[in-house]
Chain A
């Protein structure tokens, strides 16, 4: 463990990477910028931001959660480390192509997976308020297509007719559906279902055989996004972040704790996106999204329970300067949300909004009012992309 100990005041003075949310939202129009790509990695279950990006300079980290903090973290700066599973991500940070947002969350404090996931995808003012998702609405406004790499259509992408999904099929003794037949089936169905069957008819012309793991899907998604007529947005799920038990390994070298395994998948997914995107990486922003963070203290089963603040991982050529963006709340009992969770001091919707603005060229005020239905949503674009 690092010998350097900062208190919160020292940290804020010392770290140019930190952020104070005191600024007035800056008006800005980016309409003329050519659109880039946006990829969202959904981390289902609630990622522990304090495990992914441990605040090693916070003197309370070890006091509050010694058993949850491995010793072999990577050092980002005197205050923040990075979980050893995120080695590729660390290299991207060194190249100024990745930025961490810490102590952040969607404005949801009630700790239900299902309400939280609905809110982080729907992007409305309360869980289950919206039938469409924030990325779907953004693509509708930009009139650009997106694609989910899943069998279902996740809520986050609903709301734009040109969005579709892809997941490899392997059903023995069935042939590729005949387009005429599928069109006839489509015509017999009403509304949305008919439209979806028409998409099946179009799609069945080109068969893609790739494995179903998130990494292979990310590489494929990157390749598709790099095509001139491909989607500009994609969504991939990584599950099993709900580590109530055995979150970290017990030997101090955290390679096989449940969070370590999932973080390594996220690291691979980002690397695979980069590989698939090729040159299009330069105009791409990838961001993670999780429904909430976890308790600061470990529970009784070498894990953590549902909490509030977490961290977001951003990567892509759209980033020009790597940072850890945080208004660090501290980890003492009185600093915690309800004396148990990491406090969230940055509204992650502002980060999503900045990524939409950067990749789809939409104006912040429009994003705030028409996508997140909150015209007061602060604009944090310049903290992320300047």
Chain B
């Protein structure tokens, strides 16, 4: 592959045949960090590309309201009230009040049509680093977290993103913090006067904040550090279905992203990994700022960035380069991402491409259509599968019920006969229904395909087989450039 396509594969989502190729790839890649980033998509398949409509992108308050309505209707459904137990009403409740289908399609479409391909790749990295798995209760919040906690803050600093993700209701719900209360909090003390009381600490988010989001186990923190982190977090978050009145009474706000319940918070000082943290709402920012700047965090995440964008087996020098950019800039994401871009461009190693990234790249390279239009989300289509089903079959989705460590960037975690068969099947489906606009020859010429790829494609006996062969070549799977 020529330099343009090699860089677009490693760091972006590939050039569409209609995209002009930049002259200076490194300058282009760095400028992409500030590319305008509207979510682009199609209202119907094969329609003109347009920005995703506002009414399908509700804010957090509206999402919470919809979630409450959904729950109320489900209750009526169980009680067989107001006709909510009919199929039509059940379906309407799902369509009107749940956001997963819309959010997942929007994510897919913006990746296929977006002019901000590098931003989207970095967004995917962070959305995976800060995994919010789908527990159903989180299903209407995952998309909001990706858009508002991650994409909207890609040009800020890591500490800010860490704080915004940690306090996002999606994360607070996914890792059970919304139900946690300090052992010595007023709420727990009062509750424990009753025999059937259930109140106290839940350490789930505290543990993963240290293990997965910041320090990593290499730091050697203790169980006491985890517990203290959980105590700092106690009081944060409200159930997404809480009423406005309940929100005001307990958290004195109706904003779920700001919901801190003083009566559930552990009083007093806490000590986490050597740092003293004060009681109260501001303690968490103190903690996340401290963790964000810690040397273990810097090394851990610099290594992950390298593994995702540069090489499965990153070189010390690459990790050191990115860590140094992190230290020098106090965690400015623009500077860190620029360092990643520089190292990825300097490396001539192939980098394994995630299944979902590969899918977006195949669709872009051939200018095919493979996802439904936003107006057609709930309409049956003979050809196009539901978005949820596409990603489930592919084996990768940010809306799946995955574990909090997210997806590995290493190829050995993705290599199995079934996984490889899916690549062939999806390439086939895209060719068959996507109205692929460009021949394999044209695609190969533009990207400067290597001899292995050309021989493979030449050996295939039909246009369809040539397309599958090209997309499943070592080169386009990011497995080998020779």
Contacts and interface: CB of A to CB of B under 8 A. Distances in A.
A323 interface: no
Contacts of B429: 171-174
A125 to B, nearest CB: 16
A111 B200 CA distance: 20
A110 interface: yes
Nearest to B191: A300
Interface of B: 175-176, 179-181, 183, 188, 198-204, 207, 211-212, 217, 223, 383-385, 389, 393, 395, 401, 403-405, 412-422, 424-426, 428-429, 432-433, 452-453, 455-456, 459-461, 465, 468-469, 472-474, 479-480
Contacts of B405: 113-114
Interface of A: 44-45, 67, 110-115, 131, 148, 150-153, 158, 164-167, 169-175, 177-178, 180-182, 184-185, 188-190, 192-193, 196-197, 199-200, 203-204, 239-240, 242, 244-245, 298-303, 305-306, 338, 340
Nearest to A180: B461
A67 B192 CA distance: 13
A-side binding surface: helix, strand, loop or mixed?
Answer: loop
Contacts of A203: 417, 421
Contacts of B412: 131, 158
Contacts of B175: 244
A89 B431 CA distance: 49
- In the complex, the 5 A-B pairs of residues with the closest C-beta atoms, listed nearest first: A300-B200, A153-B416, A174-B428, A174-B429, A199-B417
A177 B417 CA distance: 12
Given A190-B474, A193-B479, A196-B416, A181 B201 contact: no
Contact of A184 (B181, B393, B433, B460): B460
Given A151-B419, A300-B200, A305-B202, A112 B211 contact: yes
Contacts of A150: 418
Given A178-B465, A190-B480, A301-B200, A171 B425 contact: yes
22 contacts: A111-B207, A151-B418, A151-B419, A152-B418, A164-B416, A165-B416, A167-B418, A170-B393, A171-B422, A172-B429, A173-B383, A173-B429, A184-B469, A185-B424, A185-B473, A200-B417, A245-B176, A245-B202, A299-B201, A301-B179, A306-B207, A340-B223
A171 B223 CA distance: 46
Given A151-B416, A188-B455, A203-B421, A44 B403 contact: yes
Given A171-B385, A189-B479, A300 B179 contact: yes
A217 B455 CA distance: 39
A19 B389 CA distance: 49
Contacts of B469: 181, 184-185, 188
A110 B389 CA distance: 37
Contacts of A111: 207, 223
B426 A301 contact: no
A185 B223 CA distance: 50
A305 B204 CA distance: 7
Given A173-B429, A300-B179, A300-B198, A200 B474 contact: no
B393 A169 contact: yes
A172 B383 contact: yes
Contacts of B401: 239-240
Given A152-B419, A193-B474, A171 B426 contact: yes
Given A188-B456, A298-B198, 17 more contacts: A45-B403, A67-B198, A114-B211, A151-B395, A151-B422, A165-B418, A167-B418, A169-B425, A173-B433, A180-B461, A185-B469, A185-B473, A300-B188, A300-B202, A301-B179, A301-B200, A305-B204
Given A131-B412, A151-B416, A173-B429, A113 B403 contact: yes
A180 to B, nearest CB: 8
A174 B433 CA distance: 9
Contacts of B415: 153, 192-193, 196
Nearest to B455: A188
Nearest to B185: A300
A299 B420 contact: no
Contacts of B176: 244-245, 301, 303
B204 A244 contact: yes
A181 B465 CA distance: 7
A200 B420 contact: yes
A174 B425 contact: yes
A292 B199 CA distance: 24
A203 B420 CA distance: 12
Contacts of B421: 169, 177, 200, 203-204
A114 B460 CA distance: 42
B371 to A, nearest CB: 13
Nearest to B352: A193
A158 B415 CA distance: 11
A102 B223 CA distance: 24
A302 B383 contact: no
Contacts of A110: 217
A175 B328 CA distance: 53
Contact of B473 (A114, A188, A299, A338): A188
B70 to A, nearest CB: 19
